Amino acid sequence: MRAVIQIFTVLLKELRELLSRPWQALTLILGPLAIMVAFGIGSNTSARPPTAIVVVPPGQEEPRLLRDYQRQFDQYLTVVDYTSDITAALASLRRGYVEAVVELPVTPFETISAGKKATIKVIYDDIDPLWRWVVPNFTQVMAGELNREIFVQTITEQLSGLKSAAQDTSDILRLLEIASDAADLGDRVKVQRALREALQRADTLSQNVDSFGPEAAPLVVGVQQLQEELKRADERLTLSNAAKAAADERPLKEQLGLTETKHNLEQLATTLDKFTAVPPDVIISPLQVDARNAATFEPDILSFFAPGILAMLVQHIAVSMGSLAFVRERLSGGFDLYTVAPIRQWSLLLGKYGAYTFFTLLIAAAVMTLLLIGLHVPLLGDPWLLMLALVLLTVSCVGIGLILSLLATSERQAVQFAMLVLLAVFFFSGFSLPLRLLLPVGQGIAYTLPATYGISLLRDIMLRGAPGQLTFFVVLTGMSILFFAVSLSMLYWRTKAQ
Amino acid sequence: MTEQQDNAVMQPTQASATALHTNGQAHLAAAEQPAGPLIVEARNVDKRFGRVAVLDNLTLTVEAGEIFGLIGPSGSGKTTTIHLFCGHLEPSGGTVRVLGENPVSFSSAARRRIGYMPQNFVLPLDLTIKQNMGFAAGLYGLSEWGSRKRIRETLELVELWDARKRSARNASGGMLRRLALAATLVHDPDLIFADEPTANLDPILRAKLWRHFRSLSASGRTLLLTTQYIDEAEYCDRVGLMYDGMLIADGKPNDLRRRAFGGDVVAITLGDKAASAAYVVARVPGVRGTESTRDGTLRVTVESADRAIPALLDALDSNNISVQSIAQVRATFDEVFIRLIEQHGEGRPALGRLRTSAADMEDTE
């Protein structure tokens, strides 16, 4: 009973001290909230195209590349100016007015026609290791889009030639039908007229197919074969005499090979259909990616960072209060009261733990309520699990603070320790950088911090609806026990007579 | 420093001494009672911090029901001695026993019997005076509600009950001192270590506290306290004078006074023939020494003032030396301690140091 009174006495004393300045507590609640609101209002989650000055070749006010592909430029660059003065553009880049200078090639289409690549120069000036990929990535994607667009146009033009070829093929087929019918009737004149007309169409078809390039080689061969067959049939018909005709007892259609020519032409038409049936953008980009987010909820930036900020807040309050807990009393001499009074070290420690945990959770509950109601941050998971995560995070962080407090030799040093922990949490806990980006050494540090587990659990419970790793609860429990044991043994050491 | 300045320094403390006079007499009677068992015992205790020796061969005992005052200038080792008795420090040499136990490993039972009042105010400033009392009681396992009567009594004793709702941060230095004392007494300890409990208090309140200390002592409580108010030595059963980490004298106040001057002191104000008076007086049996002061007073050290005064008057009268007044001088403890320090062999530096500390005290008042 005496121990309970002593624990409660220390707890009450600490709480009374903390709550004796209500404005401080209120600042702890409203401060982070105000920062979060400002962050939500003042930040942009979408990847904004970099600002750029486009340098056009001298004497070209509106180069064709810009005129024909303005949409691509606007989509991947925020163009603030067009100029032909590269020096002025680079000066603007150095001063930070723009993020990139894009220099267009002088004669891009001529260069391409000559079988060479035309180069768009992109110059940027960024030392941020996390964001210096932005300009290269955006401009690479832009170049890809430009290439695709140019290619689509070319293919479209070729496909229009293919469509004419298909019409030619259809006409030749129709003429062969007429010739075949006339041959059945023995009307040699009509056969010859149809064959000659078909031969003319075949010449046109040959010209169309020749312009398709190497991809259309099978067509060219097919058309050449058609031309030869038609010529052969025409010659055979022209040179034939009655005797020769009488000697050949086969029907005229077979003598001229019309059936076979027709068959070959049908095959050629089928090949042509295959070419014309594929849309140009499929030919250019035959593969596409269908990326789907398995997350049931896609939070905005405020909602995404809210659990992390709450965890950081909990961690910082708990560590800061804990770190000052003993050092102030040690320096003032108040610690001596504890060493004379019949209070056990564990009672003293439990009293401090209780007070700081209660106060931190009070702040966390207030901030959480405002987040949910005021800022509409979702809580998709079980509130009890969220509370459990917060309690474990708080207890473990209070433990860290108390250890620092027993290590520190001055209040200033205690504050410095608390700041170091805050810095470590900022960089390693997954708050600012995803843990997967850390190397094994960094991850090793990350997993020694309770905030790493706290942030992960809070994010998962609030934004995914369930904790990703239940083992994190176990780890936080273990850390809490470990830090209590360490702080207790350090308290024994500190209360030992000097 | 001139004698006049010395007197000026002593005046405030003499005023408080007057206020406590009646009670002081009661103490002396109590001090004559048979001694109880040893409550605090230090034998040949040394304490060093690194190479710096803070206490040197300290031997000291305090008996049950006794008020033992440790007196000495700043830096003489008083607070270190208290810390050793409370178990905050471990002696570098020698042994310390308090309530029959080694303070470094006090049992809970022993701790419950001890009250400790540190030199500085160490209670939480953000709590009210009453909350601080609850906190102090709670450390000893007494609930704030359960000990409310005791809290009220103690706060009334130090005249803080009316200010109980005031935050300690808004209390004056004197109020904080009283609060610290009340917090020390709230669990009704048997043994009280108080480091300068009356510092920064007005003479009236000091007198009241000393009366309470006496009543605590009368009820069997033991007090070991330090003070820089040298006149407060009068109200202790026994006094230890510390100087440069050493206990250079300890005993009952009157014994120390006699030890300092080699006997009682009689002051004779002469009408004339002052020069020859010293010669006459020196030949009176029982006279151990004479000293002429600037104002013409002849100070005579004798074995016993009661027996010497008639003899002195006879001798002077027979030599036709007129006496305007003759009386036993009750030397102030400032004088007593200066003498003792001088006898200890430190000479002028020690004297200067003690006087400086006395002047400091006056400044703080």
Tens-digit pLDDT profile for residues A162-189: 778 888 888 888 988 888 888 888 888 8
Touching check for B92 and chain A: CB below 8 Å? no
Residue A334's alpha-carbon distances to A344, A453, B121, B124, B173, in angstroms, are: 15, 35, 8, 8, 17
Q: What is the pLDDT of residues A227-266, one digit of tens each?
A: 888 888 888 777 664 445 556 667 777 777 888 888 888 8
Touching check for B116 and chain A: CB below 8 Å? yes
**Average pLDDT of span A260-279:** 80
Q: Contacts of residue A11 in chain B, CB cutoff 8 Å?
A: none
Which amino acid, A469?
Answer: Q
Q: Contacts of residue B116 in chain A, CB cutoff 8 Å?
A: 336-337, 340
Touching check for B173 and chain A: CB below 8 Å? no
Give the burial class of A55: count Cβ atoms within 10 A of its Cβ; 0-12 exposed, 13-18 middle, 19 or more buried.
buried
Pairing of strands A100-103, A121-124: antiparallel
CB contact under 8 A, A498 and B142: no
A4: closest chain B residue by CA: B141
Of residues A10, A336, A342, nearest to B108 (C-beta) = A342
Chosen from A13, A18, A324, A343 to mutate, greatest number of chain B CBs within 10 A: A13
User: CA of B216 to nearest chain A CA: how many angstroms apart?
Assistant: 20
Give the pLDDT band (50/70/90) at residue B28. Answer: very low
Residue B105's alpha-carbon distances to A347, B108, B143, B194, in angstroms, are: 18, 9, 26, 20
A22: closest chain B residue by CA: B126
pLDDT of A284 higher than 50: yes
CB contact under 8 A, A9 and B134: yes
pLDDT at A10: 92
Chosen from B52, B80, B88 to mutate, greatest number of chain A CBs within 10 A: B88
Q: Contacts of residue B136 in chain A, CB cutoff 8 Å?
A: 337
Give the pLDDT band (50/70/90) at residue B31. Answer: very low
Cβ-based neighbours of B222, under 8 Å, separated by 6 or more: B39, B40, B62, B63, B64, B65, B66, B67, B68, B190, B191, B192
Query: Cα(A187)–Cα(B321) distance, rounded to whole angstroms?
Result: 189
Of residues A9, A16, A338, nearest to B126 (C-beta) = A16
Touching check for B161 and chain A: CB below 8 Å? no
A12: closest chain B residue by CA: B135
Of residues B83, B86, B139, nearest to A9 (C-beta) = B139
Give the burial class of A209: count Cβ atoms within 10 A of its Cβ; 0-12 exposed, 13-18 middle, 19 or more buried.
buried
Q: What is the pLDDT of residues B202-229, one digit of tens each?
A: 888 888 888 889 988 988 899 999 987 8
R_g over Cα of chain B: 23
Q: What is the pLDDT of residues B118-160, one digit of tens each?
A: 988 999 999 999 999 999 999 999 988 888 999 999 999 888 9
Mean pLDDT for all residues in chain A? 86
Touching check for B142 and chain A: CB below 8 Å? yes
**Average pLDDT of span A402-413:** 91
* Residue in this structure with the two tokens 């009450």, named with its chain if needed: A12
Of A270-279, B94-103, B255-264, the one with minimum mean pLDDT is: A270-279
Minimal CA–CA distance to A120: which of A129, A130, A133, A107? A107
Q: What is the pLDDT of residues B302-345, one digit of tens each?
A: 888 888 899 998 988 888 888 888 888 887 888 888 888 888 76
Query: For chains A and B, what is the number of CB pairs under 8 angstroms?
Result: 93
Q: What is the pLDDT of residues A373-405, one digit of tens each?
A: 888 889 999 999 999 999 999 999 999 999 999
- 3-state SS assignment for residue A146: helix
B130: closest chain A residue by CA: A13
**Average pLDDT of span A67-88:** 90
A339: closest chain B residue by CA: B88
- ipTM comes to 0.73
pLDDT at A212: 66
Q: What is the pLDDT of residues B171-193, one digit of tens each?
A: 988 889 889 999 999 999 999 99
**Average pLDDT of span B107-117:** 93
Touching check for B82 and chain A: CB below 8 Å? no
Q: What is the pLDDT of residues B76-85, one digit of tens each?
A: 899 999 999 9
pLDDT of B357 higher than 70: no
| CA A437 to centroid of chain Cα atoms | 14
For the four alpha carbons of A380, A381, A386 and A389, in that order, the dihedral sign comes to negative
Cβ-based neighbours of A384, under 8 Å, separated by 6 or more: none
DSSP string over A334-392 = THHHHHHTT--HHHHHHHHHHHHHHHHHHHHHHHHHIIIIIS-----S-HHHHHHHHHH
CB contact under 8 A, B116 and A337: yes
Touching check for B122 and chain A: CB below 8 Å? yes
Touching check for B86 and chain A: CB below 8 Å? yes
Q: Contacts of residue B109 in chain A, CB cutoff 8 Å?
A: 342
Query: Cα(B265)–Cα(B328) distance, rounded to whole angstroms?
Result: 6
Query: Cα(B117)–Cα(B136) distance, rounded to whole angstroms?
Result: 11
pLDDT of A22 higher than 90: no
Q: Contacts of residue A330 in chain B, CB cutoff 8 Å?
A: none
pLDDT of B233 higher than 50: yes
pLDDT at A214: 66
